[in-house]
């Protein structure tokens, strides 16, 4: 089987700072996750993805690593992670760690060593340094855009940063090596080769401790292209292909999942999956992203999952078809939301459309990933304070999707016993905020819908990622066949919609709300959703 297990996975993303605090310091930790594993298992989830847990000064919420081989003390110890992996495995759950591959913290010993060096490291610089600023200077004020930062120590010149100034880019070489610019290493130079080996060593360290693989942060950012994007992608893909080949031999069950779509890194076989993340237009065309993550290169648009019914599925379907044409056998991961962007928000009253949205995300041909709290419909909370790099610019406030998990109606929503002033982020102050405890008691809750959808997906192979999807109707309602045996219909608008086709005749509901089928005509009330078995497949 090897890494083939990813096709059948249902993933769950944990932002560890905000999930569960076991020691009352106001910050979530691994022991808190261990104590809540039964909740995660009860969803039917079988793959757990952690945002970065490694030692860090937390300028960027742990995406600035100072030691890849040590769990951050705020979360616990390496032994706690080993225990968590074992306890998860006992419940049938694999664990993926977030690996920041393209940069470190300025507090990493590698950077400190080079900062105090008189010149290039004889073994090859791990970072990119220049003594004089190049003529081709980056100038875009966009999060994640490379730029030169003045050296903060004895070493003269500038270093290249990958995201924030405190995140120096690791040296994986350049698309073009020019004379007179000695800082432009080839991808096979000593510095880049040291870093490729370091990535393998880091992966091996945690794989030996039981983790199942890695989500790779900014996987596209390794080889710097300086304008020649196609060449940079090609070389980056080749580096990841080398790592993938090593993994498939040394750790054949392990997976590497990129942050983002595989075409961003060139060749289609470098990773085990694509990832239609919320930053990408495919996801943004489905769900409203007007709160967080409004980036200059991607304008907000009318989403398909909108009560007014003004959206279109075309952008999503074009991207999906392109990914499948690139590599038909490779799974595509789609999240409800994530730590960088708006939560699953479909309009002014999210709750109305959650059923349709979750039905789509859990029955389309993707590998679904639930962001913590989306199983109860947690909301993006505007006006949250800046914490650990959560506000990159006025339009890019990520704090509102990182608020504490809402477990019950007790103090701090059951997240922590700390004084509210000590919490990592404030709890959603809305008195109507959803909680796990309340929804567990309500058979019609979002939580119980998620459990039913995942259970139905796992008991019905036609609803998984291995089976073809054929769209029957692209508008409202949106209808598609899975494996030519099961029909899924979602109507995220408030108005009623109808659909007539001979392929509906005799469809029997397996899970439905607001949908009726009479003969060959289907009627979907506003915000309706349903999964049906076609005749002969009940």
**Contact between residue 176 and residue 235 where contact means Cβ atoms under 8 Å apart:** no
In a 13 Å sphere around the CA of 502, the CA atoms on its Cβ side amount to 0
pLDDT at 267: 54
pLDDT at 266: 47
pLDDT at 289: 58
pLDDT at 293: 54
pLDDT at 291: 59
Q: Are strands 94-100 and 213-217 parallel, antiparallel or unpaired?
A: parallel
**Contact between residue 415 and residue 39 where contact means Cβ atoms under 8 Å apart:** no
pLDDT at 139: 53
3 state SS of 477: coil
pLDDT at 285: 85
pLDDT at 328: 83
| Number of CB atoms found within 10 A of residue 283's CB | 24
**Contact between residue 357 and residue 306 where contact means Cβ atoms under 8 Å apart:** no
pLDDT at 173: 96
pLDDT at 145: 73
Q: Which of 306, 376, 360 is nearest to 529 (CA)?
A: 360
Give the pTM: 0.95
Residue stretches of the chain with pLDDT short of 70: 1, 135-144, 179, 261-269, 279, 288-300, 345-350, 393-395
């Amino acid at each position: 089987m090897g890494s083939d297990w990813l096709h059948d996975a249902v993933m769950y993303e944990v932002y560890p700072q905000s999930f569960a605090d076991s020691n009352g310091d106001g910050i979530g930790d691994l022991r808190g996750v261990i104590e809540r594993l039964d909740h995660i298992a009860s969803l039917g989830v079988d793959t757990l993805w952690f945002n970065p847990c490694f030692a860090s000064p937390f300028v960027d919420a742990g995406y600035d690593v100072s030691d890849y081989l040590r769990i951050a003390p705020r979360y616990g110890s390496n032994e706690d992670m080993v225990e968590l992996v074992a306890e998860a495995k006992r419940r049938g759950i694999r664990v993926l760690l977030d690996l920041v591959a393209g940069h470190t913290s300025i507090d990493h010993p590698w950077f400190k060593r080079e900062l105090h060096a008189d010149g290039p490291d004889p073994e090859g610089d791990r970072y990119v340094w220049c003594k004089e600023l190049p003529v081709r200077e980056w100038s875009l004020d966009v999060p994640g855009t490379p730029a030169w930062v003045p050296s903060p120590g004895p070493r003269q010149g500038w270093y290249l940063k990958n995201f924030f100034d405190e995140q120096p880019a690791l040296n994986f070489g350049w698309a073009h090596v020019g004379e007179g610019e000695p800082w432009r290493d080839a991808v096979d130079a000593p510095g880049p080769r040291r870093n490729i080996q370091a990535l393998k060593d880091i992966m091996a360290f945690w794989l030996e401790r039981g983790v199942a693989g890695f989500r790779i942060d900014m996987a596209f950012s390794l080889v710097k292209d300086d304008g020649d994007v196609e060449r940079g992608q090609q070389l980056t893909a080749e580096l990841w292909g080398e790592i993938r080949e090593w993994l498939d031999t040394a750790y054949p069950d392990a997976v590497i999942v990129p942050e983002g779509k595989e075409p961003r890194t060139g060749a289609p076989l470098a990773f085990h999956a694509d990832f239609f993340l919320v930053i990408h237009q495919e996801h943004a065309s489905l769900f409203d992203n007007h709160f967080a993550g409004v980036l200059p290169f991607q304008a907000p648009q009318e989403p398909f999952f909108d009560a007014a019914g003004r959206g279109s599925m075309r952008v999503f379907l074009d991207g999906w078809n392109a990914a499948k044409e690139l590599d038909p056998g490779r799974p595509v991961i789609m999240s409800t939301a994530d730590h960088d962007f708006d939560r699953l928000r479909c309009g002014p009253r999210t709750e109305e459309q959650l059923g349709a949205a979750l039905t789509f995300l859990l029955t389309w041909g993707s590998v679904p990933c639930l962001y913590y709290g989306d199983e109860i419909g947690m909301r993006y909370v505007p006006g949250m304070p800046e914490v650990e790099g959560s506000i990159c610019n006025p339009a890019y406030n990520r704090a509102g999707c990182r608020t504490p998990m809402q477990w019950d109606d007790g103090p701090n929503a059951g997240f922590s016993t700390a004084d509210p002033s000590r919490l990592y982020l404030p709890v959603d102050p809305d008195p109507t905020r959803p909680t796990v405890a309340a929804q567990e008691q309500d058979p019609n809750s979002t939580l119980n819908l998620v459990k039913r959808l995942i259970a139905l997906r796992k008991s019905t192979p036609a609803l998984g990622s291995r089976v073809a999807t054929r769209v029957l109707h692209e508008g409202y309602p949106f209808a598609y066949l899975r494996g030519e045996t099961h029909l899924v219909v979602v109507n995220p608008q408030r108005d009623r919609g109808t659909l007539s086709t001979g392929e509906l005749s005799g469809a029997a509901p397996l899970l439905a709300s607001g949908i009726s089928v009479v003969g060959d005509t289907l009627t979907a009330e506003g915000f309706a959703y349903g999964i049906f078995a076609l005749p002969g497949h009940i």
